[in-house]
Amino acid sequence: MNNIPFSKFLRLSFAVAFLSPLFFVAQAQAQSACQCNWYGATYPMCQNQTTGWGWESSASCIGSQTCSSQGGGGGPIGDCSGSSSSSSSSSSSSSSSSTSSSSTSSSSASSTTSSSSTSSSSTSGGTCTESCKWYQDDPRPLCQNQSSGWGYENGQSCIGRTTCESQSGNGGVVSSCSGSSSSSSSSSSSSSSSSSSSSSSSSSSSSSSSSSSSSSSSSSSGGSNSITVRMSGTVGEENVSLQIAGQTIQSWTLTTSMMNYTVNTNSTGELRVAFTNDSGDLDVQVDYVIVNGVTYQAEDQQDNTGAYDGECGGGSYSEMLHCDGSIGFGNPFTGSSSSSSSSSSSSSSSSSSSSSSSSSSGGSRNYPPFFVGNITTNGSVRSDFSQYWDQITPENEGKWGSVEGTRDQYNWGPLDAIYDYARANGIPVKAHTMVWGSQQPGWIGGLSASEQAAEIEEWIRDYCERYPDTQMMDVVNEAVSGHAPAAYAQSAFGNDWIIKSFQLARQYCPNTILIYNDYNFMTWNTTEIMDLIRPAVQAGVVDALGLQAHSLYDPQNWTAQQIQDKLDLISTLGVPLYISEYDIEATNDQTQLEYMQRHFPLFYDHPNVYGITLWGYVVGSTWRDGTGLIQSNGQKRPAMDWLMNYLGR
């Protein structure tokens, strides 16, 4: 239970295959008219993949085989005679437009879809490869035949470059090099006809190129210490080296994109990121360094000999390198760093640390280990809670109306008890919920727009200052039309109220995983919710999505395949998922057991689900009748027995 889902075997069901350009041109008109009736809803048919859900032309699409496999009268509609399912030859990854020669390393993509290709070259026995560090997980392959969403290539799941680079937190494209001298390049192309990039042309773009200096230590080829430096250059020609104990371990030539540069080494000692400036126009921005999973923010370090303040001379607490010099990170292998005791950050990536100040520009956010949690019972935590669950959410105690029913008079007592319990038992807390159009204070609606804005900010600020170790937070809840959007927040901030709410949460809770939470996300309102939250996700303010799961078998019985497809589709937004409010409303023990056995493994095994929170567990003390899993005396219902055995608890 201490492994996040990506440490499990990736099981995304996407199978990406590119159409021959000649076939695509001939059939484009027919493709555009082909759609999928997906259980009563109409979606575009994917042109570049036959199975699973995809993302093309700025819209969700469904593969023709997946569309055709559903029951209930759904399937392809319109003129689908030229769809991607018609012939295996249409999905050939090799076409006449793709060429390669012994003199140049070239790759071509014949598709209207933006594609991403990765090439690597080596000298003196060294090689560099690019991959995607997906949040806190180990690096995963980058897709070569699609730039966004998730794909399936060469017998394994892969991540599109755009999706990889758009995530928040400490993830991104990483370049891993071994040997004494290496270079790698990555190019992204979008063209309606075939495009090719050779090793000679891609090197000039220096999109993630890296080269090791002659003084590189041989320890760069491997070792027990994993180091990632996230940085960018203003021009894209900046030369930066990683130094440990005075020795250069690895050197890179930066790009203008903020990227992760990774190396493994056995060296230990003082760590420095050094910049040699041979041109006045060059500058380097160092975001952070990760050493063996612990994050050290550059702006928190007091030792920066390359800082510029009107003249070269060094400084402190700056992530910029302009002059010849370096940023010192102390000796992170022993836990010491160059940040002073008064620094606003502990330089630790632990999400339970409370020393990170809200003034930190980026914060240090870690996703907790995979959990199966639950909520409070009748306003308190039962003594048997930690026997079954390893994450806690206040059911009602953390809602704004419960805390500040009277303006400027806070009732923190119930929340204090929950946080005290969580700290004592070492389990994460998810705050629920900050901005919601239900259970808000009755007085907020009668205020002016400016007063409402001030009160929303005050509420989020005061919560974050009191509980800075909040690991996760439902910032905005149920905002889709017809659910419970917060009218007072829209009055305060206008149509961008969702993004503004998340920005406030990021400002005051910089180390917290910020979540958008909604119901019917996996059932009737998938498209509406995705369209609503996509701008905030693309703005980089949403860290994860909460998928409530209250009605998966009544009034409609959703099949395992339907749920799997919806999880895959929602994952194309590019952020982790949480099953946030799961219950099974069944007074019949066998019915509850049957659906628990159907649903739970799907959630637990999906690679993009990072945790599961059930919504109550004591019979007679849950929000919905029939959802309890144990009697008040502790006697388990069959579904609870099965679940505990499944989890090994």
Sequence-ordered strand ranges (E) for 134-180: 139-140, 150-153, 156-159, 172-178
Count of other CB atoms within 10 angstroms of residue 495: 8
* CB of 418 closer than 8 Å to CB of 455: no
> Taking Cα atoms as reference points, which of 584, 576, 599 lies closest to residue 646?
599
User: Which tokens sit at 10?
Assistant: 């990736």
Q: Nearest 5 degrees, angle CA 486-CA 487-CA 489? A: 70
Query: What is the spatial distance between Cα 257 and Cα 333, in angstroms, rounded to a whole number?
Result: 28
For the stretch 493-499, contacts whose Cβ atoms lie closer than 8 Å and that sit 24 or more positions apart, written own/partner, are 493/453, 493/456, 497/435, 498/532, 498/533, 498/535, 498/536, 499/535, 499/536, 499/539, 499/541
Q: Give the residue numbers annotated as catalytic, written as ranges.
A: 581
- Evaluate the omega torsion of the peptide bond into residue 613 and state whether it is cis, within 30 degrees of 0: no
User: Which tokens sit at 604?
Assistant: 């637990």
The total number of residues written for the chain in this structure? 649
> Taking Cα atoms as reference points, which of 553, 548, 481 lies closest to residue 520?
548
> Taking Cα atoms as reference points, which of 110, 159, 124 lies closest to residue 139?
159
Query: What is the spatial distance between Cα 43 and Cα 37, in angstroms, rounded to a whole number?
Result: 7
> Taking Cα atoms as reference points, which of 282, 49, 261 lies closest to residue 145?
49
* CB of 221 closer than 8 Å to CB of 124: no
> Taking Cα atoms as reference points, which of 140, 508, 129, 136 lies closest to residue 295?
136
Residue 119, H or E segment: strand 115-123
Query: What is the spatial distance between Cα 462 and Cα 443, in angstroms, rounded to a whole number?
Result: 18
Helices 638-647 & 589-605, crossing angle to 10 degrees?
Answer: 20
Tokens 């790009």 found at: 255
Query: What is the spatial distance between Cα 45 and Cα 40, in angstroms, rounded to a whole number?
Result: 15
Query: What is the spatial distance between Cα 359 and Cα 417, in angstroms, rounded to a whole number?
Result: 27
Burial (0-12, 13-18, 19+ Cβ within 10 Å), 204: exposed
* CB of 452 closer than 8 Å to CB of 489: yes
* CB of 570 closer than 8 Å to CB of 582: no
> Taking Cα atoms as reference points, which of 636, 615, 637, 618 lies closest to residue 628?
618
Tokens 């700056």 found at: 318
Query: What is the spatial distance between Cα 638 and Cα 169, in angstroms, rounded to a whole number?
Result: 40
Computed from CA positions of residues 61, 67, 72, 76, in that sequence, does the dihedral angle turn out positive or negative? positive
